[in-house]
Amino acid sequence: MIENLKPNTQQPSHTDEVRLRCHKLIDRIARRPGSAKLLQLAEKSLTLYAEYKANRKHER
């Protein structure tokens, strides 16, 4: 599933690399005991980061 996130080009964009790393992190967290709390924290952080990046993109 994660491998499908890479674009068809040879050089993935920075956004695609970050997205891939986030998916890998979520997979690693989900396999640990007590992962629900960690996943909630990861979700908050990733949402905050995504909103920040989206707002920066619109300001340009």
Give the tens place of pLDDT for each residue, 40-52.
Answer: 888 888 888 888 8
Model pTM? Answer: 0.48
Beta-carbon contacts of 7 under 8 Å, excluding residues fewer than 6 positions away, are: 13, 16
- Pairwise CA distance, residues 41 & 55, whole Å: 21
Beta-carbon contacts of 36 under 8 Å, excluding residues fewer than 6 positions away, are: none
Q: What is the reported pLDDT for 17?
A: 86
- Pairwise CA distance, residues 6 & 19, whole Å: 9
Distance between first and last Cα of the chain: 33
Q: What is the reported pLDDT for 10?
A: 58
Q: Which two tokens stand for residue 43?
A: 């979700």
Residue 1 pLDDT exceeds 50:
no
Give the tens place of pLDDT for each residue, 12-34.
Answer: 687 788 888 888 888 888 888 88
